[in-house]
Amino acid sequence: MTDLHHVLPNFSTHSFTHLLPSLEKAQITISDLVTLEAIDIARRALVPVAELQRLANDILRALHSDIVRLDENAVPNEDKAVVGSTLLATSIRQEQQSWQTARTLDEALDAALGGGIPKGYVVEFTGESGAGKTQFLLSLLLNAQLPAPLGFAQSTLYISTEAPLQTARLSQMLNSHPHLSDLPANEKPSLSRVLSIQTPDLESQEHILQYQVPVAIRRQNVGLVVIDSIAANYRAEFEKTGNKHGSMAQRSTKLLRLGNLLRQVARETNVAIVVANQVADRFSPTNTDLASTTTHPETHTPIRPSQDRNGTTPHSTQQTAGLADMEPLALDHQQRWFTGWGDELAQGQNPKTYKTPSLGLVWTNQIAARIALIKEPIYAYKRDDGGHMEKEITGWKRHMKVVFAPWAPPSTTVSGPSSAGVPFEIVEAGVRGHAAAATGGSMIFA
């Protein structure tokens, strides 16, 4: 056993000395022994199945006894249930007391977010240009300064990798929002409590995040850190090199290091870290490509969409055939549940509008929550001089969609076949959910 003495240093191996050399030679670990079938391990290590099963049972009993930390002699049997329930209640109460969120100050949006953006997590807002990412982040920079339960009553830090902090827009939000503008001076958010740092390249970004940000959090009493955007410097650094495979490997390593650093800062300093991320168009294979390349493992004949009595493929089948034919564990099939685009295909979303957040699956595994901001055009039809109908874009509709988060459920379709999440608009005072926006308000910063 390669890790037996490390995991169970007091385990007695006297009865299994004839098995251990073979198991160690086959590189069998305790995890293999307790999760895999004994007959498979016995074939791999060339040992008797019955003896191997007896070793596995003894190791399981040793692991169970090692997990139990309660002293049997210190606590009487009749008091164990009381002690356990008391410890559980204390843990829940401490967690509730430490749970703090920064809200958007919109009822519909905060309800979808499970109360707001909590401390201790790395949260991503992703969407295409003009979807409203920066507007959400600017609102949080002000709202996080509010006392609980609306905010953290702390300063905020804005780290920019592209454009500098939009102080004019912050002032506009502060003076226009009905809740913020009516607050007394000692409770009102201030631009002086919004710290700003600009990182022009990847090297300076890594240095600032690793050394300067933790110091600024402690010295300036920061409760929220915003990075806008997380992908800009990585794309600028690695897309200019000609060695595609080498640069991808280096980028993955740096992203893993960045994710670990951000999570560590969020936990150890008890701050909320919110990042903006860009998106790219997703190019999925067509149904024809799938039908010509996907074969059944036994017959090796193409799998094609079902047809009706007339020999034509139904429209709904054409839409979903691509997803149905995909390998369930393939990335193209799985990514519709963690990117924010593609999970509404059965309800009619146009595949041409699919987006994929930048930095790929490696970065997705580093964040705790992903909030997708979806922007869709509003079309109108009019006749041209020749009498032909023309389609033109007259506006935009936006939706905030919780893709995944440990404290909030994923958003569901609420207002149409291709509209999942909470409809919102960007107004002078910030962002407003659709219910609050029904009273009107000019659309700006489209």
Q: Edge to edge, what strands does the sheet with 272-277 contain?
A: 194-198, 155-160, 222-228, 272-277, 122-127, 369-383, 389-404, 422-427, 430-433
Exposed / middle / buried, residue 316 (Cβ in 10 Å: 0-12, 13-18, 19+)? exposed
Q: Is pLDDT above 80 for 77? A: no
Indicate whether 333 pLDDT > 50: yes
Of 249, 251, 157, residue with least CA distance to 209: 157
Query: What is the per-residue pLDDT for 307?
Result: 44
pLDDT of residue 305: 41
pTM over cut 0.75: no
The 3-class secondary structure across 223-238, one letter per residue, is EEEEEECCCHHHHHHH
The predicted structure's pLDDT at residue 270: 94
Determine the pLDDT at residue 329: 74
CA atoms within 13 A on the CB side of 374: 28
pLDDT band at residue 234 under the 50/70/90 scheme: confident
pLDDT at 249: 81
At residue 216, the pLDDT reads 95
**362 to each of 258, 302, 305, 365, how far by Cα in Å?**
11, 33, 33, 6
pLDDT of residue 309: 39
What per-residue confidence (pLDDT) applies to 81?
A: 56
**Range with the largest mean pLDDT of 25-39, 68-82, 158-172:** 158-172
Of 47-51, 249-253, 327-331, 406-410, which gets the smallest average pLDDT?
327-331
- Helices (DSSP H) in 298-418: which residue ranges? 315-325, 331-334, 360-364
What is the Cα–Cα distance from 37 to 19, expressed in whole angstroms?
16
Looking at mean pLDDT, say which of 58-67, 399-408, 417-426 comes out highest. 399-408
pLDDT in tens, 431-441: 999 754 333 33
Specify which of 70-79, 131-140, 305-314 reaches the highest per-range mean pLDDT.
Answer: 131-140
Q: Which residue has the higher pLDDT, 3 or 204?
A: 204
pLDDT > 60? residue 72: no
| Model pLDDT, residue 141 | 96
Q: Report which of residues 420 and 369 the model is more confident about.
A: 369
Q: Is the pLDDT of residue 399 over 60?
A: yes
pLDDT band (50, 70, 90) for residue 173 = very high
More confident residue, 117 or 232: 117
Q: Which residue has the higher pLDDT, 421 or 243?
A: 421
Please report the pLDDT score of residue 68 as a whole number.
56
pLDDT tens sequence across 246-283: 577 888 889 999 999 999 999 999 999 999 999 988 77
Reported confidence tier of residue 284, pLDDT bands at 50, 70, 90: low
The predicted-structure confidence for 351-369, as pLDDT tens digits, reads as follows: 557 889 999 899 999 999 9
Residue 27 has pLDDT above 60, yes or no: yes
Backbone angles phi, psi at 438, to 5 degrees: -65, -20
Strands (E), 105-252: 117-118, 122-127, 155-160, 194-198, 222-228
